Structure 1
Amino acid sequence: MKQTIYEQYELRVERKQKIRHYEAFWANRVLYILVPVGHLEDAELVELQKLSDYMIRTHQDLYVSSFVKNKNDSYVTEIDDRKMALFRMPYDYSSRKLVIGKELALFHHNGRAFPEKVSSINRVGQWKSLWVKRIDQMEHFFREKIRNNPVDVFDTLFVESFPYYLGLTENAIQYLVDTELDDTPMMNDAATICHHRFTDLSWQQSQWMKLPTDWIFDHASRDLSEWIRSECRKGPDMDPMKIQSFMKDYERVSSLSSFSWRLLYARLVFPVHYFECVEEYYTSGPIADKKWHEDRLKAILNSSDLYEKTLSDFYDIVGVPAKTYGIPVLDWVK
């Protein structure tokens, strides 16, 4: 790796370290991070690079990592048969105390002003088709498992739990469809830079870092709902006050329309954490740590009552008068 870095970027690796699960190193008192990008299309990388450059140049966002070109004027380098991108990490401003809700609202506000069309990483208006495709694939898989009989603990847990999560998904899709039919998007509902899965750990590692390969172009409620989901999944350790203050901090900068609140709720009802757990188990191959996956699924299933209660009390937790806004709540969770 050191040799390739020197040949491709003319950087001498002085000291290596791990950031998240990525390789990082120091060179000339600057921290760099290597990120696998084999899962991204070239067009997606081009858009992510443009967004990164825009946030750094136009909005002077100190925390956005910047793409580094190699000697071939490319942002992608082959290292150990893997496509990698090198990022220059921001300077360490971790001593500055940042409020995550407020920082996310500013990030979304700035991202909305991006002047070019985004298509490759755009997910706005696609939630329904993506959810339907996902549930169809898993339903097909579920029928196969029943036909062949479950062979291990994970199979059994999946077969027993899937009908419940199928119902939850159908509720989420219907809620989303009703929202798009009954409500009207406002200015702040325009697409912006979001994250595939935004949690407390997305930025706040040992230092604040916004990594472009985490990004997707979508409605801001994606990030809000995924952050809330990660808090809800803490089970008995969930702190409703933390969720409330996060949303208040966000709304001090950027207020949410009833359309936003309803999209946020629809996404929270959609059990993406369950889908990801099942999909990762069945695609991880024979060397997977079965026990780890089993425990992960058991934890999701054991916390389903608590998660349902959060859905039931959601608008009370975040302090939104749903009736005043004309926002429907799922009857059955009540």
Structure 2
Amino acid sequence: MFERNIYDQYGFHCDERWHLGAYEGFESEGHSYIVTPYPRKEDSVLTQFEWARQLERAGIIDVAMPVQTMDGKVIAKIDGAQQLIFRLPQDDPSRNEQPQQPEAFQLAQIHEVSRGWMPNVKDLNFLGNWLHIWETRMSQLENWHQQVDARRQKNDFDRQFLYTFPYYLGRAETAMQWLVEEGQEHLLQPYDGSINHTRFTPTSWFAASPTTTQVKLPLQFVYDHPARDLGERLRSIYRQGDGEEAYRFIEDYYGAQFRGGNNVHWPLIGARLLLPLSYVEVVEDHYMNEGTNAENRSLEAVNFEEELAAEEKYLRLTSECLLEHLPSSTAGAWFTRRIFV
């Protein structure tokens, strides 16, 4: 069925099928393709596709390019589901002779060339919306806190949540205060944004061949301030406990000779790092799915306790590394104005 669907709608013969992480892929006449689920927001997908083409024209390497069906559609029914197909960059042996550009350097390139590419699609535009999003999520946690506190019977997860929430609410409020007072998010202009990723982590870019090791998938693209990508990548590094890698990442980003590398708004990054995002996600996942996983409550309580320990370790390392490694040009003394460890 898979091969028939591909041939009928794209005209491709599947010479070989394989898996790349969570994606199914295939070879056809020397080209590699991956199949991804359709996110059911066609206007957003079309904008992301256009961004991919613009990035490729601007010289950004290793962008997975969207493929249309033979009748010009971007969506196709494959194996009974609505799906998309992307062509992966071809292996280029000549690049073996060239030094690999660091991840942060390529990120700075993307931020620079895409500056001001503000979309008409609201779902993709996060510039200037952090405060509203954070307030909404913390308000939901406050509602759960009140509901759980009123319960007659509480499990281990409930008790840990009730005990820890006031502290993490305080951290979130401090992050939001910094966002307004120091980051001045409300003063950001449309041209301050660039193409970012929904959540930039070590797995956002993936290897498709020995020479194409940082493939960018357009479905992750959103429009926001570069501090989004930098903050989330630093978060993942600090969560791993590697202060030296964080230092190298910052140096590589600043080493890129682009305005994007010199236009970083460190108060925005600091506010994002201070937001207890991992804690929020654990609580959201538990209470949004509470009725479906009753048998796993004990395990969730243990995982929550481990998450709390990891979050505190992350915060200590974050504060130490930012104070030690922020480039002098950023005037990062604001980070010491409040004690939170």
> Shorter-chain TM-score: which interval?
0.7 to 0.9
State which drifts further: 291-300 or 207-216. 291-300
- Given the alignment of the two structures, is residue 244 of structure 1 paired with residue 247 of structure 2, yes or no? yes
Structure 1 225/324 Cα, relative in aligned 2: closer, same or farther at 3 Å? closer
Instruction: Pick the aligned partner of 1:298 from 284, 298, 305.
Output: 305
Of 293-302 and 178-187, the range deviating more from structure 2: 178-187
> What letter is aligned with 1:135?
M
* Preserved contact between residue 124 and residue 217 of structure 1 (Cα < 8 Å): yes
Task: Determine if contact 1:312/1:330 at 8 Å carries over to the other structure.
Answer: no
- Aligned residue among 148, 153, 157 for 2:151: 148
Partner of 1:83: 82
Superposed displacement of residue 16, structure 1: 2.3
Give the corresponding residue for 1:124. 127
Q: Which runs of 5+ in 1 are unaligned?
A: none
The equivalent position to 2:194 in structure 1, one of 172, 178, 192, is: 192
Whether 1:266 and 2:266 are equivalent positions in the alignment is no
Separation of aligned partners in 2, 1:7 and 1:255: 46
Please say if residues 183 and 265 of structure 2, whose CA atoms lie closer than 8 Å, have aligned partners that are also in contact.
no
Offset of 1:78 from its aligned partner? 3.1
User: Cα RMSD between the aligned structures?
Assistant: 3.0
Further displaced range: 85-94 or 24-33: 85-94
- Which amino acid letter does the alignment assign opposite residue 219 of structure 1? H
Shift of 1:218: 0.4
Letter of the 1:9 counterpart: Y
Structure 1 match to 2:12: 11
Aligned counterparts of 1:155 and 1:16: Cα–Cα separation in 2: 46
Q: Counterparts in 2 of 1:107-118, with a 5 A limit? A: 107-112=110-115, 114=117
Q: Deviations over 1:60-91 (max 9, x none)?
A: 32310111112342212233553321111112
| 2:33 alignment partner in structure 1 | 32
The partner residue of 1:220 within 226, 229, 238 is: 226
Q: Aligned equivalents of 1:139 and 1:81: distance in 2?
A: 41
**Percent of pairs with identical residues:** 25
- Looking at structure 2, the residues matched to 317 and 272 of structure 1 have their Cα atoms a distance apart, in angstroms, of 23
Q: State the Cα deviation string for residues 123-160 of structure 1 (Å, max 9, x = none).
A: 00000001111111121122222223565443443333
Residue 35 and residue 160 in structure 1: after superposition, are their counterparts in 2 closer, same or farther (change >3 A)?
farther
Does residue 169 (structure 1) correspond to residue 175 (structure 2)? The answer is no
Deviations 1:174-199 (A, max 9, x none): 11010244997699x71001011112
Q: In the comparison of the two structures, how many residue pairs are matched?
A: 327
Specify the alignment match of 1:106 in structure 2.
109
CA distance in 2, matches of 1:247, 1:108: 14
Cα distance in structure 2, aligned partners of 1:191 and 1:182? 12
Q: Which amino acid aligns with 1:212?
A: P
TM-score if structure 2 supplies the norm length? 0.84
* Alpha-carbon spacing, 1:98–1:143, altered in 2? closer, same or farther (3 Å): same
Contact 2:178–2:271 (8 Å) recurs in 1: yes
For residues 182 and 272 of structure 1, do their structure 2 counterparts lie closer, same or farther at Cα, with a shift above 3 Å needed?
A: closer
Structure 1's 248 and 177: CA in aligned 2 closer, same or farther, altered over 3 A? same
* Deviates most, 67-76 or 170-179: 67-76
Relative distance call for 1:45 and 1:186 in structure 2 (3 A) is: closer
